[in-house]
Amino acid sequence: MKILIARMNHETNTFSPVATPLEAFGRNGPCYGHDAYRENAGMRTAMSAFIDAAKREHAQIVTPISASANPSGRVAAGAYDAICQSIVDAAEGCDAVMLDLHGAMVAENSPDGEGDLLERVRRALPHAPIAVTLDLHANVTQKMIDNADVITSFKTYPHVDMYESGEHAARLLLDLIHEKAKPVIAWARPPLLTHTLKSSTAEGAMKRAVDAARAAEGEDGVLAVSVLSGFSLADIAAPCISVVVVADGNRAQAQDVADRIARQIWDERDAFVYRSAPLAQSISEAAARARETDKPVLLLDHGDNCMSGGTCDTTDAFEEALKQGLDGIVVGPLCDPEAVASLFAAGEGATVTIGVGNKLASVASRGKPPFEVTGIVRALTDGEYIISGPTYTGQRAYMGRAAVIETPAAHILVTERTHEPWDLGVFESVGIDPRDARFLILKSRMYCRPVFVPISGGLVECDSRGVTSSDYALFKFENVKRPVYPLDSEVEY
């Protein structure tokens, strides 16, 4: 048996000015062939699980590409075409396909990146079964449903079950091949734009929805149930929450389960809406918490969050913290390649006055000048480290070149690339121990939590009103099918 296995991951924020060329998919672009295999083998991605499953079958494994980029603006047409073509070109002669996809990709030439890819793969291999694993924040479309035989998604956010989701999809696909099951798919999509901060699977309505999905998987004939909260910062027809069900030969049963859980979600729709506090109020709350603990207080700047397509160069939260007299601050990573170049030119130990941030046109900056800081250049590094887990355990992370400026009130980490603080290594790799900070201002919403919450004395969510803000009134939605909640108050489902 010859199995095609590939990875194409990108969550597209159509409001983000951050470009997404082919080079964004990896350190300097995607990995191909054996390098794609090596990047995933033994790791904890869905593609890793696919490889392990295919090896157990003693199958011939074809890995044309592994392409994963941080969330950002629309994928460049040339990049999208190149990634898709590498997968389609490898399809000839394959008996099955396993694809590790995000599910919320929008390219300059495709509003439905994954659906259009799957349509092409199906056309190339009309009789080969196709299994797909999606991110929990996927925007599911009819094309995805029509052109896959098995669909599963992550059940955790922060995502720590990528491998398990891939393992699940691979198992169902192999059961289909070995005639142990006949997977059929049904789905439901309430007209609900969720907020990412309300998609944590540890609490609230999202937890209840995922619990219902897990319970349904215990019913006879139900093979997989996925609740996908969607990614609403994509101005496409329906960036909405959805429920996808795989049943064993009984599509009516699959539809009943999907409709039942979708109705539960709709009945709790307001619990999927996040309403931000004013930034000044959030900073005041952080100051109050710091007086009650000797551990760092986390300030999560989710309005400029790397993993939702933020520019990571807004300074609003940092400036407000300084305005209110906070000190002992560690902030970053702030993305500013121009500032990094200047700091490298100055050299370690130099005293500099430099403008940082606010250099990408966005909903937040509105022409605001860079924030001027004076301090000492304390570290200059290549910005690379190994993630210790639990997310993307063992993978090498790339921040681009990194520099640290020390001021009387703060240590500021500045990098060439936007970067999610997956790991303490973000700071430890540049000589900063985050445990020693009084305040940690992170460009993050959720992924930092498994690592940084255990060392903290409290957490405050800060909305700097950047391109990942929870205030949808900041964004001009032109393609979303209306009415949809919460953009509209009168919506039927």
What single letter denotes the amino acid at residue 461?
Answer: E
Report the number of distinct structural domains present in the chain: 2
Say yes or no: 257 and 339 in one domain.
no
157: nearest Cα among 138, 141, 140: 138
Query: What is the spatial distance between Cα 134 and Cα 2, in angstroms, rounded to a whole number?
Result: 22
* Amino acid present at 151: I
pLDDT at 364: 46
Angle at 108 (CA atoms; ends 148, 85), nearest 5 degrees: 50
DSSP labels, 293-330: -SSPEEEEEGGG-GGGT--S---HHHHHHHHTT--SEE
Q: In this structure, are residues 71 and 13 in contact, taking their beta carbons and an 8 Å threshold?
A: yes
Report the candidate in 43, 37, 119, 56 with the shortest Cα–Cα distance to residue 84.
Answer: 119
On whether the CB atoms of residues 240 and 230 are closer than 8 A, the answer is yes
**Is residue 484 in a domain?**
no
What is the residue type of 490?
E
Distance CA 406, CA 409 (A): 8
Q: Does 83 lie in the same domain as 21?
A: yes
Q: Are residues 285 and 267 in the same domain?
A: no
Residue 482 lies in a domain: no
Residue 486 in any domain: the answer is: no
**Does residue 255 form part of some domain?**
yes
153 with 223, same domain? yes
In a domain? residue 32: yes
What does the alpha-carbon distance between residue 461 and residue 455 come to, in Å, rounded to a whole number?
A: 17
> Are 224 and 313 in the same domain?
no
Is residue 96 within a helix (H) or strand (E), and if so which, with residue range? strand 96-101
Please check whether residue 101 is in contact with residue 244, taking contact to mean a CB–CB distance below 8 angstroms. Answer: no
Closest alpha carbon to 54 in 105, 23, 97, 89: 97
Quick count: other Cβ atoms within 10 Å of Cβ 350? 12
Q: Could you give the angle at which helices 46-56 and 33-40 cross, rounded to 10 degrees?
A: 100
220 and 350 co-located in one domain: no
Handedness of CA 306, 312, 316, 318 (dihedral sign): positive
Domain termination residue (choose one: 247, 272, 297): 272
The pLDDT score that the predictor gives to residue 279 is 95
Q: Do residues 248 and 112 both lie within one domain?
A: yes
The Cα–Cα gap between 35 and 381 comes to: 26
Instruction: Judge if 229 and 334 occupy the same domain.
Output: no
Strand 60-62 versus strand 2-9 pairing type: parallel
H or E segment to which residue 467 belongs: none
Q: Are residue 266 and residue 314 in the same domain, yes or no? A: no
From residue 291, give the alpha-carbon distance in Å to each of 34, 297, 299, 385.
53, 10, 15, 33
What is the reported pLDDT for 365? 46
Regarding whether 160 and 247 lie in a shared domain, the answer is: yes
- Residue 325: per-residue pLDDT: 97
Asked if 423 and 397 count as a contact pair (C-beta separation under 8 A), the reply is: yes
pLDDT in tens, 80-95: 999 999 999 999 999 9
Give the Cα separation of 86 and 38 in Å (integer): 17
What is the span of the domain harbouring residue 202?
Answer: 2-272
Which phi and psi (to 5°) does residue 49 adopt?
A: -65, -40
In DSSP terms, which residues pair with 60 in a beta bridge? 2
Report if residue 478 sits inside a domain. Answer: no
CA gap 6, 301 in Å, rounded: 33
Residue 260 shares a structural domain with residue 294: no
Cβ atoms 41, 71 nearer than 8 A? no
CA angle 420–341–421, rounded 5-degree value: 10
* Three-state SS at 22: helix
Domain's final residue, options 206, 238, 272? 272
Phi, psi of 470 (to 5 degrees): -85, 0
Cα dihedral across residues 76, 77, 80, 86: positive or negative:
negative
Residue with tokens 């005293």: 351
CA distance 397 to 416: 13
Domain boundary among 223, 246, 272: 272
Per-residue pLDDT in tens (0 to 9) along the chain, 493 residues: 999 999 999 999 999 999 999 999 988 899 999 999 999 999 989 999 999 999 999 999 999 999 999 999 999 999 999 999 999 999 999 999 999 999 999 999 999 999 999 999 999 999 999 999 999 999 999 999 999 999 999 999 988 899 999 999 999 999 999 999 999 999 999 999 999 999 999 999 999 999 999 999 999 999 999 999 999 999 999 999 999 999 999 999 999 999 999 999 999 999 999 999 999 999 999 999 999 999 999 999 999 998 999 999 999 999 999 999 999 999 999 999 999 999 999 999 999 999 999 988 655 446 688 999 999 999 999 999 999 877 777 888 889 999 999 999 999 999 999 999 989 999 999 999 999 999 999 999 888 999 999 999 999 999 988 899 999 998 999 999 999 999 999 999 9
At a CB cut-off of 8 Å and minimum separation 6, what does 300 contact? 442, 444, 445, 448, 459, 460, 461, 462
Q: Where are the beta strands (DSSP E) in 116-259?
A: 130-134, 150-153, 183-188, 222-228, 242-248
Adjacent-strand bridge partners of 375: 352
217 occurs within a structural domain: yes
Structure tokens at 207: 């937890």
Residues 141 and 103: their CA atoms lie apart, in Å, by: 9
User: Token digits for 38?
Assistant: 């090596």
Give the span between the Cα atoms of 383 and 442, in whole angstroms: 16
The answer to whether residues 301 and 156 belong to one domain is: no
In contact, 221 and 247? CB cutoff 8 Å: yes
Contact 306, 413 (CB under 8 A): no
Flag whether 492 is in a domain.
Answer: no
